[in-house]
Structure 1
Amino acid sequence: MTDTPAPLLDGIHTVLTPEYVEFRFTLAGLYSRFLAWLVDSVLVMVGTSALLMGLSMGMAAFPGFASALGIVLYFLVDWGYGITLESVWSGQTVGKKLLGLRVIQRSGVRIGFHHAALRNLARPVDRLPLFYLVGGVTALLSGSHQRLGDMLAGTLVVRERRLKLPSAIGVPAGQGLLADPLFVSRVKRLGTEAREAVLSAVLRREELSMEARLRLFSALGTKLQELLAMEKPAHLSDEKWTLLVAAALLPASAGAPTVRGRAVAA
């Protein structure tokens, strides 16, 4: 895995897969991350205020306790908001979704609960002394735009790209398999990681050199035969076989002009 030097706003993170195929992710700049944080902060404050208003009747006689509880509630809502949404939405919060950002692991795959928990629990340190000064300076100096929480969790914040669907997904060779209920049912049972690996490889295949492309689809083709417990038809190449699997994964409305590329490595 290698990283190219990141400029002030956006940089590039490169992931080298075991098949020696490179995937490049655009690192989110501090400005877009600040805007996403601003949106999330407003939502956290609104959520905290709503909780406090609900409890205010019972705390009217204890103003000191109410203030302390308000601070505790803020951190609980703040942590819970970030940890829950980033875990459930594959590295996104409302702010990140609006700004087209996503948190991923350095290896390029989606984050899990413990990654989301680590990076969010470290926020109080990143916020010191005010407005994420520690986190902002750390991100500027890190080369990968990582604040302390990201360093601790081994995560990055990247920009999502809108990638054009290759026309081959719509009408791939050997499409008769798409009418086979057994093939389609087994494809639909593929796990999330396998689905995203297939779609990511298909969407990004035009970016790869021919040698890297052949290696990638050879590995994917073999893996898909294992996962589906089906042999690849002899007349199909590994790439066409993978394209058929991708076509079976997509809904009937897949003729839409673009889809949002997921941050995953094959």
Structure 2
Amino acid sequence: MTDTPDTLLDGTHAVLTPEYVEFRFTLAGIYSRFLAWLLDALIVVFGTGVFMTVLSLVMVAFPGFGSALGIVIYFLVDWGYGIALETAWSGQTVGKRALGLRVIQQSGVRIGFYHAALRNLARPVDRLPLLYLVGGVTALLSGSQQRLGDMLAGTIVVRERRLKAPSALGATGGEGLLTDPLFVSRVKRLSAEARELVLSAALRREELRMEARLRLFSALGTKLQELLAMEKPAHLSDEKWTLLVAAALLPSPSAQAGGRVRGAA
């Protein structure tokens, strides 16, 4: 695999699967992360302002208490904003979505509430003494551009790229299974990690060397038979079997043909 210019500029994070196949993610640079934070900060300040307007009567009657309450509310909104959105949007806030960034685990899978909470609760330390100086310096010195919160949560921030769903994704020779309710329902019950691995393998298979490609799909084919409790049709190769599962994960045939599937790079 060759490195693209943005990969060379921002750095990469490599994830080695149990099948010894390497996937690369393009790390988000300090500048793009700062812009995303700036947009999120404006939203938090605006949201806090709206909330404090509602409590303006309390602040007039008790100015000292009102000021202290305002600081507490700001931190609650700030923490809650990041934790809630990164959990609900799989590692994105409004700012990150606008800049095409996403927080993922170092293992390459999406984050959950635990990771979002840890990285956001550490923000007050990263912000010291102002404008994320501690976090910025830590990220520059870190090999994976992680601030302290990312180190604590085991997360990284990567650039997203949109990968076009291959036209051959559903043309595997086993399209009949896509109309089988039992097959589709079992595919839909796959874990988030299994779904991401299947879709990543399907979308990036052309980037892999042939030996790694055969090894990956051989392992995936066997694993999917176990997870789905179904035998692979004899006429399908391991790769085509995996592509059939990937096709069942996509929203609809029209989305498979013309849509775009998001992937972190």
Q: Same fold (TM over 0.5)?
A: yes
1:245 partner letter: V
2:79 partner letter: W
Residue by residue, what CA displacement relative to the aligned partner does 1:235-256 show, whole Å, maximum 9, x if unpaired? 1001000111111111222212
Partner of 1:37: 37
User: Does the alignment pair 1:244 with 2:244?
Assistant: yes
1:184 partner letter: V
| Superposition deviation, residue 9 in structure 1 | 5.0
| Superposition deviation, residue 262 in structure 1 | 4.6
In the aligned structure 2, how far is the partner of 1:23 from the partner of 1:136? 26
| Superposition deviation, residue 192 in structure 1 | 2.2
Partner of 1:182: 182
In the aligned structure 2, how far is the partner of 1:8 from the partner of 1:185? 41
In the aligned structure 1, how far is the partner of 2:260 from the partner of 2:95? 22
| Superposition deviation, residue 39 in structure 1 | 0.9
In the aligned structure 1, how far is the partner of 2:10 from the partner of 2:75? 30
Partner of 2:91: 91
| SS of residue in 1 equivalent to 2:233 | coil
Partner of 2:262: 260
In the aligned structure 2, how far is the partner of 1:7 from the partner of 1:125? 29
| SS of residue in 2 equivalent to 1:168 | coil
Change (3 A) 1:237 1:8: closer
Unaligned runs of 5+ in 2: 1-5
| Superposition deviation, residue 257 in structure 1 | 4.8
| SS of residue in 2 equivalent to 1:104 | strand
| SS of residue in 2 equivalent to 1:157 | strand
User: Does the alignment pair 1:210 with 2:210?
Assistant: yes
Residues 7 and 26 in structure 2, CA contact (< 8 A), matched pair in contact too: no
1:163 partner letter: L
2:27 partner letter: L
Change (3 A) 1:142 1:7: farther
Unaligned runs of 5+ in 1: 1-5
TM-score (structure 1 length as normaliser): 0.92
Partner of 1:229: 229
Residues 8 and 29 in structure 1, CA contact (< 8 A), matched pair in contact too: no
More displaced 10-residue stretch of structure 1: 109-118 or 12-21: 109-118
Partner of 1:108: 108
| SS of residue in 2 equivalent to 1:52 | helix
In the aligned structure 2, how far is the partner of 1:262 from the partner of 1:84? 21
Partner of 1:13: 13
Give identity over the alignment, percent: 81
| Superposition deviation, residue 15 in structure 1 | 0.8
1:16 partner letter: L
Residue by residue, what CA displacement relative to the aligned partner does 1:23-65 show, whole Å, maximum 9, x if unpaired? 0000000111011101110111111111111111233211111
Residue by residue, what CA displacement relative to the aligned partner does 1:164-192 show, whole Å, maximum 9, x if unpaired? 21121142222122232322222222232
Partner of 1:63: 63
In the aligned structure 1, how far is the partner of 2:264 from the partner of 2:136? 26
| Superposition deviation, residue 8 in structure 1 | 9.4
In the aligned structure 1, how far is the partner of 2:199 from the partner of 2:8? 31
1:55 partner letter: L
Residues 166 and 203 in structure 2, CA contact (< 8 A), matched pair in contact too: yes
Residues 126 and 133 in structure 1, CA contact (< 8 A), matched pair in contact too: yes
Partner of 1:54: 54
